[in-house]
């Protein structure tokens, strides 16, 4: 998309915080009003793909056999993210570095990941054995998904620190192993 390409060029040359939506619109040859038809926020230019990724994660998790443990099913579903780092590693690395260095992007990323969390929890509930006398609001599924997303974040940070050279899947496996069996 022309707008996203123009924005990324500006972000890389001027910095994310120093780039305005007006500058992005001008570089893309559109009005600022048109910019907001495509993107809700400036952060969404960088992180807009996260909504699609969340849907792909949910679909991947729901496609896993119910016989798999919650952790195994989540790990395999997270292959969606791991593949993204392989498809275009340079772009993924630029985005991950920008995310690590920009507080407003980290905040929007957290917001998007909370949407992932809410979408993934129901599929994990189906994988957990029911508890006799369990109170409403059983926290197990939410805790597993939150911990798994933290593992994903830790693996992405390590992948970014490696300059995109490390294997994202192996880093994720290590992070999950550390949480499950320290």
DSSP assignments along 9-76, one per residue? HHHHHH-TTT--HHHHHHHHTS-HHHHHHH-SSSHHHHHTHHHHHHHHHHHHHHHS-TTS-HHHHHHH
Q: Which residue has the tokens 């792909």?
A: 56
Q: In which band, very low, low, confident or very high, does the pLDDT at 143 lie, cut at 50, 70 and 90? A: very high
Domains of the chain (ranges; CATH) run: 2-38 (1.10.10.60), 47-180 (1.10.357.10)
Residue 135 banded pLDDT, cuts 50, 70, 90: low
Query: Residue 158 above 80 pLDDT?
Result: yes
pLDDT band at residue 136 under the 50/70/90 scheme: low
Return the CA Rg of the chain.
Answer: 18
Instruction: Please say whether the beta carbons of 164 and 128 come within 8 A.
Output: no
pTM of the model: 0.85
Residues 54 and 119: beta-carbon distance below 8 Å: yes
Distance separating alpha carbons of residues 61 and 57, to the nearest angstrom: 6
Burial call 80-105: b when 16+ CB within 10 Å, e when fewer: bbbebbeeeeeebbbbbebbeebeeb
Could you tell me the pLDDT band of residue 137, with boundaries at 50, 70 and 90?
A: low
pLDDT exceeding 70 applies to what percent of the chain?
96
Instruction: Check residue 152 and give its pLDDT.
Output: 97
In the chain, the percentage of residues whose pLDDT exceeds 90 is 68
| Structure confidence at residue 144 (pLDDT) | 97
Output the average pLDDT for the chain.
91
In this predicted structure, the answer to whether residue 134 has a pLDDT above a threshold of 80 is no
- Span 128-140, mean pLDDT? 77
Is 70 exceeded by the pLDDT of residue 48? yes
- Average pLDDT on 145-154 reads 97
The confidence score (pLDDT) of residue 95 equals 87
* CB 16 within 8 Å of CB 98: yes
Nearest to 155 by CA among 88, 72, 96: 96
In 3-state terms, what secondary structure has residue 90? Answer: helix
């Amino acid at each position: 998309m022309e707008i996203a390409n123009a924005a990324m060029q500006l972000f890389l040359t001027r910095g994310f915080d120093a780039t305005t939506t007006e500058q992005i619109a001008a570089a893309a040859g559109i009005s600022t009003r048109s910019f907001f038809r495509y993107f809700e926020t400036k952060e969404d230019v960088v992180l807009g793909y996260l909504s699609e990724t969340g849907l792909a994660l949910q679909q991947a998790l729901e496609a896993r056999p119910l016989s798999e443990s919650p952790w195994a099913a989540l790990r395999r579903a997270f292959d969606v993210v791991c593949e993204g780092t392989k498809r275009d590693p340079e772009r993924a690395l630029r985005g991950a570095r920008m995310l690590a260095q920009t507080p407003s992007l980290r905040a929007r990323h957290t917001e998007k990941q909370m949407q992932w969390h809410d979408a993934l929890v129901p599929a994990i509930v189906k994988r957990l054995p029911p508890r006799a006398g369990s109170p409403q609001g059983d926290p197990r599924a939410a805790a597993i998904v939150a911990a798994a997303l933290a593992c994903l974040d830790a693996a992405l940070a390590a992948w970014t620190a490696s300059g995109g050279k490390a294997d994202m899947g192996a880093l994720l496996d290590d992070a999950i192993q550390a949480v499950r069996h320290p």
